[in-house]
Amino acid sequence: MDKAELLSRLSAEPDTHYRVELFGEEGFERRACERCSRHFWTRDAGRTLCPDDDVGGAYSFIGGPPTSRRLDYAEAWRAVESFFVGHGHKSIGRYPVVCRWRDDLYFTIASIVDFQRPTGSGIRFEFPANPIIVPQPCVRFNDIGNVGVTGRHFSSFCMVGQLSMPDEEGGYWKDGCMRLDYEMLTRTLGIPRDEITFVEDVWSGGGSFGPSLEYFVGGLELGNAVFTEFQGSLDDRRPLDQRIIDMGAGLERFAWVTMGTPTAYDCCFGPITSRMADAEGVEAGTGELCAYYREVARALASEPDAARARQEAISALSLGESRVSRTIEPLEGIYLVADHLRTLAFAIADGALPSNVGGGYNLRVLLRRMMARLGRLGARHDLDELVSLHVEYLRGTYPELAESAGEIREIVGLEARRYTGMRSRMESIASRLKAKKAEPTVGELITLYESDGVPPDYLRELGAIREIPGEFYERLSELHQSPKTDAPAPPPGLEGLPRTEALFHGDD
C-alpha cells in the first residue's frame, strides 16, 4: 500500500480521521505546510511550516528546554509511568528484545510487537490488560551508521507503549488517547501548550492500516499515536474487528526535550558517558556543543547522509581540525560505545549471542564497531566497569539486567579478545589499502567486512580510509534482514481457518 496515497486519501477527510475533541477545546487549528503541503495542527497563529520543514526551529530545545521539569532517562520513565497508572493503565514489564514469539523477526522493533500474534490471514492482538503502558527496549540496525554522530540515533531505544483496545472494557479511542497524551506532555513533562504540534500521518502493516498523529516539540518528534482501524485496500477499506490504539513514544526523547542537553546520549546514559568523557578530558555540555548539534539537526533536514550533515555543521560553525579531533570525535566515540554496549547488554541478557548468522550477525557488527572506536579513544576504558555502570543505572527501570550482569561481561569480554586477536591481520589489510591510495567502494568495504571481519571504523582509525560511507551499515543490514524462517503460504482455500487443535495433547 502506497503511504503517500494513503495519507492523501485520509487527509482529504480530516473531520473523520484526524479531528479530535481536544483540538477544538484547546484551540488547535489545521494548517497545510507552505513547503510540502502536509497537514498539521497548531495553536501557534504564526506557524506556516510543518516541523520537518521548519529548519530554522530545528531542535530549538537544545541549550534551552521549554519544559518546567528536568527529567533524565530513569526519571522520565517514572514520571510517565505514574501518569498513566494514575489514569487506569496497567504497567507491565518489558518483553525480551529477542523476539522469539514471531517467526519473521529476530528482535523486538516496536512496543506493539509484544502483543502481536500472527495468524494465517493477518495479526491478532493479545493484551494482558486494557489499557496498558510498557517501557519496551527496541532494537533496530538500519541507522547504526548515524549513532554517535547525529545526537538522536540509537541502535536500541525505549519505546513507551501506550496501548488500548477501544472495543473492550476499559479501552478508549482517539479522543481519549489524545487527551491523555496532551495532559502527559503539558502536565507531567511541563511542555507549554503552544510548543506542541500534531502532524497528520498514516500507518499500515500486517494487512491493517489507519491514521496517526505525530507530536513534535522544538522540531523533535516525541511520539506517534496510531489508530489502527481498517483492513482491505484503499478503495475497499473495511473496519477491523479488533481496533487498536498504538501510541509509541521515545523515552530518550522525553528526557532530551526536558534536559536540553547537546545530545540525547548526554541525558540517557547516566554516569557512563560522563565517566568516559572525564577520562578523555572532554567537556560534554558546553554551549559550543549545543550550537554544533543544533546545526547538525538543521543540516539533516536537507541532507540525509549523517557524515555530510556533520561536515556541513563543522563548516557552518568554522570549527577547526584541532577542535573536531579534540572534542567532536572523542564524544562521537563515547556515545557510540555507550549505545552499542547497552544494546548488547539487553540482547545478551535475553539470550542472544554475537555470531556470524541470523540476528547474532548484527550484534557482532555492533561489538566490532564498539571495539574499533574504543581503540581510537585516548584513555583506556574497562568494559567490565562500563557494563556494571549500565546495569546499575538501569536497575530502577530494568532490574532483571542485574541478574545477567556476569554473563554480559563474560560474553562481551570473550568477543573483545577475539577482536583483539584479529588486529594483526586487519593491520595488514589496512596497509595494503593505504598502498593503493584509492578510496575503496562501499561494495569493497562490505566484502572486507564479510570475508575478513574488518569494520570500516578500524580502517578509518588506521587512516586507510578517510570517511565511512553513510550507506555502509544500512546496506550491510539489508543483506541480513531476511526473516528467521520463510514460512510457507497456506494452501489455496485454507487462508484464515483456525489453527488445527492437537487432540492428542489432551487427557483422553
Is it the case that residue 506 has pLDDT exceeding 80?
Answer: no
Give the pTM. 0.90
Q: Are residue 196 and residue 287 in the same domain, yes or no? A: no
Q: How far apart are CA 504 and CA 502, in angstroms?
A: 5
Mean pLDDT for 207-235 is 95
Q: Are residue 231 and residue 369 in the same domain, yes or no? A: no
Q: Are residue 105 and residue 245 in the same domain, yes or no? A: yes
Please state which of the ranges 101-110, 257-266, 450-459 shows the lowest mean pLDDT.
Answer: 450-459
Q: Are residue 59 and residue 96 in the same domain, yes or no? A: yes
- pLDDT tens for 300-354 read 988 989 999 999 999 999 999 999 999 999 999 999 999 999 999 999 999 999 9
Instruction: Give residue 439's pLDDT band: very low, low, confident or very high (50, 70, 90).
Output: confident
Sign of CA pseudo-dihedral 444, 446, 448, 450: negative
Is it the case that residue 413 has pLDDT exceeding 80?
Answer: yes
Q: In the chain, what are the helix, strand and coil shares in percent, each to the nearest 5?
A: 45, 15, 35
Mean pLDDT for 485-499 is 48
Comparison of pLDDT for 491 and 118, the residue scoring more: 118
Comparison of pLDDT for 124 and 389, the residue scoring more: 389
Q: What is the predicted pLDDT for the residue at 466?
A: 82
Instruction: Give residue 368's pLDDT band: very low, low, confident or very high (50, 70, 90).
Output: very high
Q: How far apart are CA 169 and CA 249, in angstroms?
A: 24
Instruction: Give residue 207's pLDDT band: very low, low, confident or very high (50, 70, 90).
Output: confident
Q: Are residue 243 and residue 288 in the same domain, yes or no? A: no
What CA–CA distances, in Å, run from 327 to 50, 188, 288, 330? 33, 35, 10, 6
Q: What is the predicted pLDDT for the residue at 422?
A: 86
Q: What percent of the chain clears pLDDT 90, i.e. is strictly above it?
A: 73
Please give the radius of gyration of the chain, using alpha carbons only, rounded to the nearest integer.
Answer: 24
Q: Are residue 251 and residue 299 in the same domain, yes or no? A: no
Mean pLDDT for 262-283 is 96
Q: What is the predicted pLDDT for the residue at 505?
A: 33
Is it the case that residue 206 has pLDDT exceeding 60?
Answer: yes
**Residue 487, in any domain of the structure:** no
Instruction: Give residue 503's pLDDT band: very low, low, confident or very high (50, 70, 90).
Output: very low
**Residue 211, in any domain of the structure:** yes
Mean pLDDT of the chain: 91
Q: Are residue 361 and residue 449 in the same domain, yes or no? A: no
Of 377, 395, 423, the domain-final residue:
423
Please state which of the ranges 27-31, 104-108, 159-163, 384-388 shows the lowest mean pLDDT.
Answer: 104-108
**Residue 486, in any domain of the structure:** no
The answer to whether the beta carbons of residues 260 and 69 sit under 8 Å apart is no
| Domains in the chain, number | 3
Mean pLDDT for 282-301 is 94
* Placement of cell 488500548 in the chain: 164
Q: Are residue 455 and residue 408 in the same domain, yes or no? A: no
Q: Are residue 93 and residue 216 in the same domain, yes or no? A: yes
Of 256, 285, 304, the domain-final residue:
256
Q: Are residue 274 and residue 248 in the same domain, yes or no? A: no
* Placement of cell 489455496 in the chain: 492
Is it the case that residue 463 has pLDDT exceeding 90?
Answer: no
Q: What is the predicted pLDDT for the residue at 482?
A: 58
Q: What is the predicted pLDDT for the residue at 57?
A: 82
Q: How far apart are CA 315 and CA 313, in angstroms?
A: 5
Alpha helices in 126-270 (DSSP H): 174-183, 251-259, 264-268
Q: What is the predicted pLDDT for the residue at 483?
A: 61
Q: What percent of the chain clears pLDDT 70, i.e. is strictly above it?
A: 94
Q: Are residue 64 and residue 185 in the same domain, yes or no? A: yes
Is it the case that residue 480 has pLDDT exceeding 70?
Answer: no
Q: Write the CATH number for 180.
A: 3.30.930.10
Q: What is the predicted pLDDT for the residue at 504?
A: 30
What CA–CA distances, in Å, run from 88 to 94, 172, 181, 245, 248? 19, 11, 14, 15, 18
For residue 451, the enclosing domain spans 424-481
